[in-house]
Structure 1
C-alpha cells in the first residue's frame, strides 16, 4: 500500500534528522537559552507551511516563541474582464520588504530569529536573515538543504537561506519535497517537510527548556486549556514570560 510506503519513508526522514542534526540542535538551543536569559525575544517567520501553527501556542510549548505574521490585502471588486495571466507575486520576492518588516516588527538587536523555508531561495527570507545578522540577531534556518542547494538564489548575494543564517537545521527532506514513488504515475507524492520541520521545532524547544532549567531558570510553558486549572496555570506562566521573557 502507498500508505505503508509513506510511513516507511517518513520514518527514514526522521531518523536522518536524529542522526545528522542532533549536535547542531543542541548548539542552537544553548545559544537561544543564553539569549533568552538576557532578555532577548524569540521570533519565528515561516514562508507558508506549518511552523507558526505547530510551533506556537501549543500545549507543552514555550511562550517565548512568537510569530511574525505578515498580511497584505488587496480589494479591487470590479466586474469580470478577461485578461492575460499576470502570475503570482508574493512578498517573498519584493525587494526591500525585509526593511519594512524589521521596521514595523519588534525585532531588536540581540534577538533570535528563526526562519522556515523549504526551498530557501526566495529574496525576502534571505534578505531578512542577512539584515538581522547585521543588527546582531541570532538567525536560524529550518530548511531542506538538498532542495535548496539545487536552486538558484533570487537574492543579489547569491546565498540561499541555509547560507544566509548563522545556523541552519536541515529538515532532511529531498529535492522536490516528495517521498513516495507511485508505479505508473509520473510524479512522487507526499511531502516530508511539514512533519520533519515540526519534529525539528519540538526538538529545539525541548532542548531550550532543558538548558534554561540547567541555568536555574523556569521557562513559561503552555498547558492545554482543557486541563484542570488551565486558566490559572497559564495565567501565571504568562506573567512569568512577561516579566522575564522566557
Structure 2
C-alpha cells in the first residue's frame, strides 16, 4: 500500500505545476526586473512561514538579490516558554507590531515584497503587505487560495493577504493545511503548506535567475563547497556582494 502522504502531497505539487505556472512566471519577471536594477526582493513570513525565507538565501543554489526579513520574535525556537510557539502565535496576531519591525528597513518603490502566509489572515502578513503597498512596492502573496476564498478577514482593515497582492500564488493546500485523515479523529495530520511553498519558492527563484542571465546580469550564486571546479573564495564573494547590496539599499545590518 502506498504511503498516503506521498499521494496527497504529489497531488498538491501537480496542481501547483498545472495551475500556478503563469503566476510564478509573472512573479519571476517582476523580481528579475527589480534585482537587475540593483534593488531587492524582500521576503517575509512568520511562524512556519519563515521556512521559505531560510530556503531561498543563503542556501546552496541561491543567489544575491533576495533579502529575507526575519524577526526572531515572529519565529519559534522553543515549544513553550521563551521563544515558544504559543507566544509567537499571539504576537503575530497583534495589530501594530509589524510596523515597529519594518521601519528598520528602507523599503523602496522599485523593490518587491513577497509575503508568505497559509491562512493570510493574521496581522503580521496582512500589515506587511499594507506597509509595502503604501511605499509603492509590488506585493506577491504565497497563500492558500481556499483560505482566501472561504475564510473571513480578521484584521481591522477588513483585508486578507490575497486582497493586497499584485500577484497571488496559490499553494493549492486545503484550508486546514493537514492532509491525512486518521480513523476516529476529526483532526487530520501531515501538513502540506511548507512542502508546497518550498516548491513554489525554488520555482520562482530559478525562473528569476534565468531571466537575469538573459538580461546580462552577473549572478552571485551560493554553492556547496563539495562542488568541484568552483573557486574556494566563491561563497566569500557572494557574502561580499550581498553586503554591498544591502548597504547600498540602506538596510540595517
The correspondence of residues 1-246 of structure 1 with structure 2, limited to 5 A, is 1=1, 4-49=3-48, 50-72=51-73, 88=87, 90-228=90-228, 231-242=232-243
Structure 1 residues 196, 232: CA separation in 2 closer, same or farther (over 3 Å shift)?
same
CA distance in 2, matches of 1:209, 1:106: 24
Unaligned runs of 5+ in 1: 74-86
Report the alpha carbon displacement of residue 40 of structure 1 after superposing the two structures with TM: 1.2
Question: Kindly tell me: are residues 191 and 95 of structure 1, through their superposed partners in 2, closer, same or farther at Cα, counting changes over 3 Å?
Answer: same
Does structure 2 conserve the Cα–Cα contact (< 8 Å) formed by 1:130 and 1:165?
A: no
Report the CA distance between 1:202 and its aligned residue: 0.2
The separation in 2 between residues aligned to 1:200 and 1:244, in whole angstroms, is 25
Kept after mapping to 1: 8 A contact 2:45/2:116 = yes
Question: 206-215 or 158-167: which moved more?
Answer: 158-167
Flag structure 2 segments of 5+ consecutive residues without an equivalent. 75-85, 247-253
Q: TM-score, normalised by structure 1?
A: 0.85
Return the offset for 1:240: 4.3
CA contact (8 A) 2:40 2:65 kept: yes
Compute the displacement of 1:102 (Å).
2.4
- C-alpha RMSD of matched pairs (Å): 2.2
Bigger shift: residues 117-126 or 47-56: 47-56
In 1, Cα distance between the equivalents of 2:153 and 2:119? Answer: 10
Find the structure with the greater CA-based Rg: 1
Q: Is the 8 A contact 1:17 1:170 kept in 2?
A: yes
Q: Aligned pair count?
A: 231
| TM-score, normalising length: structure 2 | 0.83
